[in-house]
Amino acid sequence: MASAVQQLTSTLEQDPNIGAGAVQTTWNDAGDLALVKATLKMDGNAPEAFAMIERLRNEVVPETFGGVPAEALVTGETAFNADFFQVVDDWTPIVFAFVLGLSFLLLLLVFRSVVIPIKAIILNLLSVGAAYGLMVLVFQEGVGADLLGFQQTPTIEAWVPIFLFCVLFGLSMDYHVFLLSRIKEHYDQTKRNAESVAVGLQATARIITGAALIMVVVFSGFAMGNLVMFQQMGFGLAVAVLLDATIVRSVLVPAGMAMLGDWNWYLPNWLKWLPNLNIEGAPPPVLVPPVIPEGAGD
């Protein structure tokens, strides 16, 4: 193993991406464990640094330790970031599919409509997409970053997009269900779609706007910090909630439902077997006065 470690050290010292004298090897007392430290010339988050990690893992280490009864691991901050980015890339589609699929199923069961969940998912993705775009515009492009006191960065933190998606989708769906429940409640009583949309919007607009403003203030507090990751998180959450509660919930949702009319509540016949869930609980029983036969009181 010692010869393999020596060969690895020589290879790293000759690599143009490694600084001169930047390779150090430390052995434990038993002589069966070695730590080889190498300092890269470039920034640890640069694409060249990640390419170096990939080359070490796929080429240099296997060639050096091939046939040697030892395990060689490539670690460090750059390697950790590379592994983290890979995990995010692998799991992001799964998280998106799970959240969207479960949301569709729950809305389908609660509102007994295929149009409602499709429209809700599209509008919620619109809020998330707007937040992503504004984050790139401010933090990566630097538009308004100085004015807002934010740091301009070459990239968005890897964990921020998926974190924002999960939080924002939950908050957006909360507003959406709150608004739709009022609309459906009135529609079930009157079967007048346009009137139900107006009544639902009037009943929930102030509550939704007030709750959103509270969260915007809270998230803005995160954005006022000095750590760029929290600036990105706070700004993204604040902007998305503000857009969702004003433009999406107060304008796009009612307008879309008014245009669709009774199609909002369309459910195919082959889905009629689904259980009829009522989020407001079972309706109160209708009390019918007893019929008193004629002459019973004589």
* Mean pLDDT score, 3-26: 77
The per-residue pLDDT for range 16-41, each reduced to its tens digit, is 777 656 778 888 887 778 888 888 87
Distance CA 44, CA 154 (A): 13
pLDDT tens profile 110-138: 888 888 889 888 888 888 888 899 989 98
Contact criterion met (CB below 8 Å) for 218 and 263? no
For residues 176 and 254, is the Cβ–Cβ distance under 8 A? no
**How many other C-beta atoms lie within 10 A of the C-beta of residue 200?**
23
pLDDT digits (tens, 9 = 90+) for 134-174: 989 988 888 888 888 888 888 888 888 888 888 888 888 88
Residue 167: name the closest of 206, 122, 219, 205 by CA. 219
pLDDT of residue 193: 85
Q: How confident is the model at residue 287 (pLDDT cuts 50, 70, 90)?
A: very low
CB atoms under 10 Å from CB of 214, counted, come to 11
CATH superfamily of the 92-271 domain: Multidrug efflux transporter AcrB transmembrane domain (1.20.1640.10)
Alpha-carbon span 274 to 265, nearest angstrom: 14
What is the average pLDDT across 51-63? Answer: 85
**How wide is the angle at C-alpha 266 spanned by C-alphas 265 and 269, nearest 5°?**
135
pLDDT at residue 286 tops 50: no
Count Cβ atoms below 10 Å from residue 109 Cβ, excluding itself.
14
Model pLDDT for residues 96-107, shown as the tens digit of each residue: 899 899 989 988
Whole-model pTM? Answer: 0.74
